[in-house]
Chains A and B, each alone.
Chain A
Amino acid sequence: MYVAVKGGEKAIENAHKLMGEERRGDPSVPELGVDQILQQMRLAVDRVMCEGALYDPPLAALAIKQAAGDLVEAIFLLRAYRTTLPRLYASRPVDTTTMHVRRRVSATFKDIPGGQLLGPTFDYTHRLLDFSLAAESQSSIAVATESEPEGPMSRVMDLLGDEGLIEIPTPNDQQHVSDITHDPISFPVKRDARLQSLARGDEGFLLALGYSSQRGFGNNHPFAGEIRMGEVAVSIVPDELGFEVEIGDITVSECEMVTSFKGNKEELPRFTSGYGLSFGYNERKVMAMSIVDRSLQARELGEDVSAPCQDEEFVLYHSDNVEAQGFVQHLKLPHYVDFQADLVMLRSMREEIMKQDTHREKSGEEVA
């Protein structure tokens, strides 16, 4: 346990000033603007909004600047900020089936209706450093071609569902929607609370868990049924209006993972699925999330819960990086009293043992 300490105000103030100077770097180099982070470090902004669980691109960019690029610190800043605002509404569920798609790929069907749209991606690059970017004013102009008339794109899951190869979800909008920001998680956890947890969960942690599952710790043989990125409208139903109004669009990433067969004497074999959804363009995150979401369905699907990624208590209690960094980093705080106690105990134990040893040696000599 750590103890309260007094004093050190001057040193703390100076340390923060020093951090400010370090953050600014060499003053002969122009200062980084929040708008530059917003425009040119967009994927960092998206990750901070996703794990900070607050969609506000300029705020996330500011947090990144303040945190000198430490994304977990920026996520913490955003989480802290959200506690200062009242929650006015819960939105109508965003309809990802009407997404204005900017990227859409499927690893299950080559010829999906609507086609494979690569969109902006690092896929198929050679991962060679591009030294031309080190020179200023390198701009890349996107190519535009005639696009097909807009309309909802058909979904891979619907194709499978129509054939009965996967369960078609039947939503119940009357039931209470769990909210982990209001009520602590209790086990066993409903899927809505799991998805909320995973949506804000640390990308690295979920990535490692998804990977562990693929490598055999609770494998469910996933295929990327459909991955999408684009804009969806957010609507609310204000009391004073009584009808639904759109407050704007947000960018989201979505992944539907098709996983192993399931069947028994009563049921024909079919596919199962895992779901990933996130604010912003976070493809790696939603892919990992969908694998972990599927792994966590083990209990409901009657599978053995044997691997870490299937253990909801293990996954959900350790996926939040704000909580995790807090507990790991609190070890920096003064633990002087606790440590003194350990020190005294250890010294006396050693003394005791050494005393006994000397005694035994002496009596041994006497016998000899």
Chain B
Amino acid sequence: MQSDRNMPLPESREIERRKQWMGVLARATATQLEAALAECGPLPEFEYLRRPEIGMVMVRGRADAKGDQFNLGEMTVSRCSVKNADGLVGHGYVAGRNKRHAELAAVFDALLQSFEHGSVCREVIATLAGEQHVARKKRNAKTAATKVNFFTMVRGED
């Protein structure tokens, strides 16, 4: 399979930015993206390159966290690819079985690459990313409150 190969990943700033927004789109909910899309104003038409579909990803782990790979189990994934009237191609890959989520992620991925719509959409993404960050911070703060300092006692005295 593709990801078995240790391929040299093309790294550039553009790709880094795209990876970042794709991660944000995947972590957002379909409802959030639906609302965000409405904020973006009039948008170019798009056609499907790949209709939204559901499948699975075999999730891999590493033995001893850092050793050889093993197959942990599968998870559901939805994907979709679109091409909009500007000729830009967008891909969506999101955990779960919400086809609309994958479609919206693909639509946004195409829009975010465009000069015309990019800046408006990027603001939307920044807002979503901010919300995801806040949610994580809140969770971390609750975890932090459970930090414990144990004192070892002398044992065996009676």
Contact = CB atoms under 8 A, between A and B. Distances in A.
Asked if A and B bind, the verdict is yes
A252 B59 CA distance: 11
B10 A247 contact: no
B57 to A, nearest CB: 5
B68 A169 contact: yes
B51 interface: no
A233 B22 CA distance: 12
A232 to B, nearest CB: 9
A234 B59 contact: yes
B37 interface: no
Contacts, number: 261
A50 interface: yes
Contact of A93 (B23, B61, B136): B61
Interface in A133-165: 142-148, 150, 155, 157
B66 A97 contact: yes
Contact of A144 (B70, B138, B150): B138
A85 B59 contact: no
Interface residues on B, range: 35 or more
A211 interface: no
Contacts of A241: 91
B76 A59 contact: yes
Interface stretch (A20-28, A191-199, A306-314, A333-341): A191-199
B79 A54 contact: no
A205 interface: no
A146 B136 CA distance: 13
A146 B127 CA distance: 23
Given A97-B65, A144-B142, A279-B72, A55 B91 contact: no
27 contacts: A49-B73, A56-B75, A85-B55, A89-B77, A90-B2, A90-B3, A90-B71, A91-B57, A96-B61, A110-B150, A116-B148, A119-B146, A120-B146, A147-B140, A147-B141, A155-B65, A169-B67, A171-B62, A172-B68, A177-B70, A191-B68, A196-B71, A243-B9, A243-B19, A254-B65, A275-B63, A275-B65
